[in-house]
Amino acid sequence: MKQIKYILLAFCFLSLWGCQPEEFGPIGAEENILKELQGTWTLSKVTQKDEDAATKGFPYKELDVTNVYPYKELVIALLGDAAGAPTTFTITPGNAPKISDFNTGTWAVDNAKAPTVITIKNGTMTSELTLGSYAELKIGKFFLKKVKKANGKAIVSYTYQFTKK
């Protein structure tokens, strides 16, 4: 009888030992976000947000500033290598206000499968941009968000919507 108890206990331990997280693959075909990001994009919409006002629940949180200046003249080219890894980028601003302190350099992402942050770099200068939803990548649209902070608190942000050329 005692033996049965030990056997049952060992069986329980073995069952627990055998537990492993199961990896679920993507539903449908796996998307290559990085590949889809590469190409030439035109700036189609610029939204300015008062993050501080939004935090405090004040009115006047967002403003569409696309047509204040010729933002739509700005074009960004995101290039990649044969394997699809990010390499260089070029911003051709036209008469649009600058959206970055530098117009050429390299770009990288935080996570190749599911990127959320794009870091653009030129020499020692770097700038981090948050990547918006991928939902519209398929229809040739993506969003980049630039946040300006003071004492670690978001104060102002810009959301740039790009449309594939």
| 3-state SS string for the chain | CHHHHHHHHHHHHHHHHCCCCCCCCCCCCCCCHHHHHCEEEEEEEEEEEEHHHHHHCCCCCEEECCCCCCHHHCEEEEEECCCCCEEEEEEECCCCCCCCCCCEEEEEECCCCCCCEEEEEECCEEEEEEECCCCCHHHCEEEEEEEEEECCEEEEEEEEEEEEC
Tell me the window of 8-16, 46-54, 80-88, 119-127 that interacts with other proteins (CB under 8 A).
Answer: 46-54
Tell me the window of 44-52, 85-93, 106-114, 124-132 that interacts with other proteins (CB under 8 A).
Answer: 44-52
Number of residues that bind other proteins (CB under 8 A): 20
63 binding other proteins? (CB under 8 A): yes
Least spacing, CB of residue 53 vs other proteins, in Å: 6
59 binding other proteins? (CB under 8 A): yes
Cβ proximity to other proteins: between 62 and 110 the closer is: 62
Cβ proximity to other proteins: between 65 and 77 the closer is: 65
103 binding other proteins? (CB under 8 A): no
